Amino acid sequence: MAVSVASIPSPSVNVIEIGPFALRAYGLLIALGVLAAVWIARRRWALRGGNPDDVSRVAVVAVPAGLIGSRIYHVLTDWRFDEGWAEPFKIWEGGLGIPGGMAAGLLVGIWVVNRNGWDRGAFVDCVVPGLALAQAIGRWGNWFNQELFGRPSDLPWALEIDADHTPAAYPDSTTFHPTFLYESLWNFALTIALIRIDQSGLVRKGSLVAVYVVGYLTGRLWIEAIRIDKATEILGVRINIWMSLTGIVIGGGWLVWRGLRPVQVSVTDDSHERSAPARQPDNKIT
């Protein structure tokens, strides 16, 4: 039995009422995450000489595609046939897989960019940090829903879970690892890291997405390992762990193959030393 002296309380409700309107906190936080992602991408694209409205045009198409992709990913990886054939279409009941949503949104966004003849590599680099930021904000929806938490814990930052949401396998536990908080903090840090890496010019134009894939899935890998919610397993391992490992290998391979810029080597002769000028980042960013 996990007993925590200090802990994080869970919200008593997951609906925010504003006058006659009732907003689900989960949906509201996802919307705020999208708005934050669009805001940062507009600023970054404008600093590269692009029209910030281009980002909004892409978002109008990419965001719905991302929602559809996230639902498809959930259905393919977590849906059980005994739940009934109507279950995959009940988006309002939850069940969104982030990897599928990000992949679908990026692919559709790239399609729009190509159709308009914009610089695809530069555009993707502008958008990628916002993806991590959106995830950092959206994950707080799990806090309101009291879902997707980790194993029982008595750490000072353990999360209090109501009896109605306590898993049957842990009837005597009241506090658990706040995986929503772990992933949120990880993604906030990843947002900053992506911006810094882009500023440094360490990766080639268009390759920042590979850094994002490796960074996000590395965090998801260890967070997934402590989650206790039901999930499809392959060989006794949660499917999202397998997917994370696959994505890390693919993203890391891309970086090694063509994503990293070549290291500039100093050249020395008998009379003086000359250093090859360091290649500057493609554009100023924020």
**pLDDT tens by residue, 95-130:** 667 777 788 888 898 999 999 999 999 999 999 999
What are the Cα distances from residue 3, in Å, to 153, 227, 250, 264?
Answer: 8, 19, 41, 55
Q: Is the pLDDT of residue 16 over 90?
A: no
**Three-class DSSP labels, the chain:** CCCCCCEECCCCCCEEEECCEEEEHHHHHHHHHHHHHHHHHHHHHHHCCCCHHHHHHHHHHHHHHHHHHHHHHHHHHHCCHHHCCCHHHCHHHCCCCHHHHHHHHHHHHHHHHHHHCCCHHHHHHHHHHHHHHHHHHHCHHHHHHCCCCECECCCCCEEECCHHHCCCCCCCCCEECCHHHHHHHHHHHHHHHHHHHHHHCCECCCCHHHHHHHHHHHHHHHHHCCECCCCCEECCEEHHHHHHHHHHHHHHHHHHHHHECCCCCEEECCCCEEECCCCCCCCCCC
Question: What local confidence, expressed as pLDDT, does residue 89 receive?
Answer: 57
Range from 119-133, 244-258, 270-284 carrying the lowest mean pLDDT? 270-284
**Residue 266 pLDDT exceeds 80:** no
For the record, the structure tokens of 238 come out as 């949660």
How far apart (Å, rounded) are the C-alpha atoms in residues 17 and 25?
10
User: Looking at per-residue confidence, does 77 or 121 come out higher?
Assistant: 121
> Where is average pLDDT lowest: 25-34, 134-143, 169-178, 203-212?
25-34
Distances (CA, A) of 188 to 133, 150, 219, 276: 6, 20, 12, 35
> Residue 268 pLDDT more than 90?
no
For position 98, what pLDDT does the model report? 74
**pLDDT for 84:** 57
Mean pLDDT over each residue of the chain, to the nearest integer:
83
How many angstroms separate the CA atoms of 259 and 172, rounded?
Answer: 49
Model confidence at 239, in pLDDT bands (50, 70, 90)? confident
Residues in the chain: 286
**Residue 201 backbone class (left: φ over 0; alpha: ψ -120 to 50; beta: rest):** left
CA pseudo-torsion sign 206, 204, 185, 75: positive
Query: What is the side-by-side strand order in the sheet with 158-160?
Result: 7-8, 158-160, 175-176
**Gap between the terminal Cα atoms of the chain:** 47
pTM score above 0.85: no
